[in-house]
Amino acid sequence: MLRYAGKKEEAMAYRFANREQLGLLPASIEDYVSKEDAVRIYDAFVERLNFAELGIEIDEDQVGNPEYDPKAMMKLLVYGYSYG
């Protein structure tokens, strides 16, 4: 569980994204990425990671101002490192 540095032992909620959410042009975020794009491999890789073994506790029942989803941040990190 990630802790907020401003207040002792107060857990914060995560910001979760819905990639199927309809938006404006294109209708879904999934429409931006082709089915053959390598980024889908990174997505599948991170989804299969055991975050508890990495020392990252994900608690979806946290309260307060939401943080970003640790899995989404890990996907960005892996993608960024792979493309330099």
User: Residue ranges of the domains in the chain?
Assistant: 14-83
pTM recorded for the entire structure: 0.61
Cα–Cα distance measured from residue 73 to residue 68, given in angstroms and rounded to the nearest whole number = 7
58 against 71, higher pLDDT: 71
Cα–Cα distance measured from residue 2 to residue 38, given in angstroms and rounded to the nearest whole number = 30
| pLDDT tens-digit readout, 16-67 | 877 777 656 666 778 888 889 989 999 999 999 999 998 888 887 877 777 8
Phi, psi of 67 (to 5 degrees): -95, 175
Cα–Cα distance measured from residue 78 to residue 40, given in angstroms and rounded to the nearest whole number = 12
24 against 15, higher pLDDT: 15
Tell whether the model's pLDDT for residue 6 goes beyond 60. no
Tell whether the model's pLDDT for residue 82 goes beyond 80. yes
